[in-house]
Amino acid sequence: MVPMASKTTRIRLLPISAVLLLCCSRLSAVEIPKDFQRMIVSIEVPTSGAEQLAAGGLLPPYRPVGTGFFASPDGKDPLTRLTLITAKHVMEEACLVSSRVYLRYIDSPKDSHGNTLRWELQICEKTLQRDAKGNPVISPDGSPVVTTQKLWTPHPSADLAAIPLASIRRANVSEDIKAFRLTDILNDELQKEWDIGASDETFILAFHPGIMNGEPSSAVIRHGTIAFFPSGADTFLVDSFVFPGNSGSPVILKPTIVNLKGYQFSVSGNARQAYLLGVVVEFLPYTEFAISPQTQHPRISFEENSGLVRAVRAEKVAELLRAMYPPPTPAAK
């Protein structure tokens, strides 16, 4: 009788465990909201005449220099003080080419000729330096000296930059675009609450070059995993692939209501949302050297994409927004 009872128990438990396994796997396999792609833009500069000449005139009129995303310090209406966030080196490299960048999002409208319309954004001011007599100052190599004033706000220590988009919104920004609020940004308290660290899954929202004919880049979502999350550091590593044009892309924490803390799984009524986890700044290359058999010295090096992405922690984005938009000072009584 005992074997029959244990066999019956096993028969009854197997379907229950199967249901629980299926349920938990479905709960953990949560996607990010589809409209998250409306938070990102491709940051582009005009293709130069020299570039077009070298390519036989086959290049698009604009080329991507990076990806950016929208953020705002306002919780109720994020579009009130809409701000573009990207990697600082994206702005610096763009300013070397042009004082303006052109922003394109996933649903940018087209004109009557089928050309994509872009938002024009001035990011720096370039002024020809003159001497006391009003003549242009010439550098030793014969070129005029130009002073550059940056219109973006850099983070003091991280590879981040932000610039307000108030003038663009007044022109033609669509009301269906989205922006990260301060409450959408992962902070230290949330990281401890959800025990976020290595092996947690992520998504990277980026504009990737060369996918569709006629467009310099297209919006994509890449899956990844936190590979290295050192305590107290400004950056962390994600196991995923990024390429030129992806700098400035937001890294999103995969949402779930099934969470592993220590060795215990917990199903929480307060679901872990798709927090902004970080901002892509570079990929880590893997370098291999060819050694001369005669001298035993390196003769040539080969570099490949290692599949590791360095990202700045999202808390640095919150710091930048708070610095740009400090709370009003209470009136003296």
For residue range 184-243, what is the model confidence (pLDDT) as tens digits? 999 999 888 888 999 999 999 999 887 887 788 889 999 999 999 998 899 999 999 999
204 and 252 Cβ atoms separated by less than 8 Å: yes
**Residue 155 CB contacts under 8 Å (≥ 6 apart), including other chains:** 88, 161, 312, 316, 319, 320
For 226-247, write each residue's pLDDT tens digit: 999 998 899 999 999 999 899 9
CA distance 35 to 221: 12
Pairwise CA distance, residues 126 & 251, whole Å: 33
Burial zone of 324 (CB within 10 Å; 0-12 exposed, 13-18 middle, 19+ buried)? middle
C-beta atoms surrounding 273 within 10 Å: 17
Q: Which pLDDT belongs to residue 17?
A: 42
- 318 φ, ψ to 5°? -60, -40
CA–CA gap between residue 235 and residue 314 (Å, rounded):
9
One-letter amino acid for residue 284 of the chain: L
Q: Among candidates 154, 180, 171, 162, which has minimal Cα distance to 79?
A: 180
Inter-residue contact 265 to 258 (CB < 8 Å)? yes
The predicted-structure confidence for 306-319, as pLDDT tens digits, reads as follows: 899 999 999 999 99
Strand partners, 70: 84
DSSP state string for 135-201: PBPB-TTSPBPEEEEE-SEEPSSSS-EEEE-HHHHHHH--TT---B-GGGB--HHHHHHHT--TT-E
Determine the distance from the C-alpha atom of residue 40 to the mean position of all C-alpha atoms in its chain, rounded to a whole number: 8
- 333 residues of the chain, pLDDT tens digit each: 445 444 444 434 444 444 444 454 444 445 778 888 989 999 999 988 888 888 777 778 888 999 999 999 987 777 778 999 999 999 999 999 999 999 998 888 888 888 888 999 999 998 888 888 888 888 888 788 888 999 999 999 999 999 998 756 544 556 678 899 999 999 999 888 888 999 999 999 999 887 887 788 889 999 999 999 998 899 999 999 999 899 999 999 998 876 666 666 665 556 778 999 999 999 998 888 777 777 777 777 778 888 999 999 999 999 999 999 988 766 555
Helix (H) or strand (E) holding 49: helix 49-54
Q: So what's the pLDDT on residue 259?
A: 64
Say which residues have a Cβ less than 8 Å from residue 234's Cβ, sequence separation at least 6: 157, 158, 312, 313, 316
